[in-house]
Structure 1
Amino acid sequence: MKYKHLFFDLDHTLWDFERNSSESLLEIFDRFALTGHGVTSCDEFISTFSRVNLALWKSFDQGTHPHSYIRENRFRMVFEAMGLGEPSCCTQLGEAYLELLPRKKYLLEGATEVLDYAAGRGYVLHIVTNGFDHIQASKMQHSGILHYFKNIITNEKAQAKKPDPRIFAYALEMARARHQECIMIGDNWEADILGAKRFGLDTVYYNPVGLCFEEVPTHDIRQLNELKTIL
């Protein structure tokens, strides 16, 4: 085996964030009767949230905003983006989302199969994520994948976030591993792939839509099952 340690991103790589988030938002739409706050379309509510949330997480990755800013402002920004006033229940919407989301169980196609394959071949598996400690652990527990991983490395534990090299250094320290024994697998080009590559790690870019960049990862895959040909 060329590698010993596999570092996986979680959201959008193993855990189906879009499906889990959409289901949570549908429950919120009904629970809080958002039609009474001017939201006429649940689909618009979900798509607007997705767009706003993606932009906020990108700004977090770039160091523009802290985690707390995302939690405190995303629903306000969603209503603003839909041309609506901020509802009185905005804080409760955020709390409900953080309550519902981590309990969702959907994984991306091939995730469990790949984890079974990697664990069965003797690889040591770890998560490297910019998410919140307790939320990411809850996601993994409810989706049934927590037991696969030796370490869950978060920016809170490492005191640094991807693509900062310090989080990858912390991951290697926790794994007691050398660079050449490790490979990073993720969907985020800047945070997962460039971050790991510039730290000196091999990379697998989970790239289902076939994006292209000037730099190249060690491996580029469209489906998670393609990992079997690499490992």
Structure 2
Amino acid sequence: MYKHLFFDLDHTLWDFDRNSTESIFDLYDRFQLADRGVGSVVEFNRHFISINNRLWSDFYNNRLTHSDIRKYRFRMVMDAVGVSDHSVCDEMNEAYLQLLPRKPHLMESAVEALEYLKNRYALHIITNGFDEIQALKMASSGLTDYFQHVVTIQKAEAKKPEPRIFEFALEASGASLRESLMIGDNYEADVCGAQNAGMDVVYYNAASLPLEGPAPTYEIHHLKELIAIL
């Protein structure tokens, strides 16, 4: 039935949380944040994860821009840990964007699943990231050669969950809806977005979160489960 598989990148194949945490720990030392009043790198990272996730959700819902995320996230994290000095926030964000995409860690069993799928389906990426950053992530983690097309918000001039980015991906890959399957971890962006575009979808729900709306075509909790489905 399916001939084309469209994967999300961050949190689905590329282990954003682990790679981001390593980057934050690097920044904590590089910018001597302990001397600036940030008492705990663990607390700093916890606030970063929460704030970054919230800002990305606002981005999906058109409440702010991608530039806003980059401008405000470290300021908000510093405020959250009780530090009003924002003098290094812009520099920290630039350093984060240099460190993060060069981290190599993938989600558990990502390579095993891709090795199984690569000769059975045409594999593609649909991501809300930008060309250069996502290309670096894929190269650093050894993902590049698995995928025929990488659709970003720059190429599509649209973002998940907007139907247009899925339509653009279908056009770019020469795929039809009925032979296409989206695979992603974000219910709002990946599941609702694919459903709104009329595409079947696998919800990679590693944390076993309760569904927030209509059921996906498939739900998995581990990437290995793709082998049984496909």
TM beyond 0.5: yes
Query: Aligned pair 1:46/2:45, yes or no?
Result: yes
User: How far does residue 61 in structure 1 lie from its aligned partner after superposition?
Assistant: 0.6
Q: Deviations over 1:68-97 (max 9, x none)?
A: 111111111110112211332111101110
Distance 1:132 1:98 in 2: 11
Distance 2:224 2:174 in 1: 27
Q: Report the equivalent of 1:144.
A: 142
Distance 1:133 1:218 in 2: 29
Q: Secondary structure at the match of 1:34?
A: coil
Code of the residue aligned with 1:196 in structure 2: it is: A
Q: Report the equivalent of 1:210.
A: 208
Q: Secondary structure at the match of 2:13?
A: coil
Q: Tell me if the contact between 1:60 and 1:66 (Cα under 8 Å) persists in the aligned partners.
A: yes
Code of the residue aligned with 2:79 in structure 1: it is: E
Runs of 4+ in 1 over 3 A off after TM superposition: none
Q: Report the equivalent of 1:111.
A: 110
User: How far does residue 230 in structure 1 lie from its aligned partner after superposition?
Assistant: 1.1
Report sequence identity in percent: 53
Q: Report the equivalent of 1:155.
A: 153
Q: Report the equivalent of 1:57.
A: 56
Distance 2:49 2:165 in 1: 26
Q: Tell me if the contact between 1:208 and 1:222 (Cα under 8 Å) persists in the aligned partners.
A: yes
Distance 1:188 1:181 in 2: 22
Code of the residue aligned with 1:44 in structure 2: it is: E
User: How far does residue 120 in structure 1 lie from its aligned partner after superposition?
Assistant: 2.5
TM-score, with normalisation over the residues of structure 1?
Answer: 0.97
Q: Secondary structure at the match of 1:205?
A: strand
Q: Secondary structure at the match of 1:40?
A: coil
Q: Report the equivalent of 2:77.
A: 78
Q: Report the equivalent of 2:167.
A: 169
TM-score, with normalisation over the residues of structure 2?
Answer: 0.98
Code of the residue aligned with 2:189 in structure 1: it is: A
User: How far does residue 215 in structure 1 lie from its aligned partner after superposition?
Assistant: 1.1
Q: Deviations over 1:119-144 (max 9, x none)?
A: 032x1010000011110110000000
User: How far does residue 191 in structure 1 lie from its aligned partner after superposition?
Assistant: 0.6
Q: Tell me if the contact between 1:8 and 1:127 (Cα under 8 Å) persists in the aligned partners.
A: yes
Q: Report the equivalent of 2:30.
A: 31
Q: Tell me if the contact between 1:37 and 1:87 (Cα under 8 Å) persists in the aligned partners.
A: no
Code of the residue aligned with 1:102 in structure 2: it is: P
> Paired residues, what number?
229
Q: Report the equivalent of 1:97.
A: 96
Distance 1:184 1:87 in 2: 40
User: How far does residue 212 in structure 1 lie from its aligned partner after superposition?
Assistant: 2.5
Q: Report the equivalent of 1:11.
A: 10
Distance 2:141 2:131 in 1: 16
Distance 2:208 2:101 in 1: 28
Q: Tell me if the contact between 1:184 and 1:196 (Cα under 8 Å) persists in the aligned partners.
A: yes
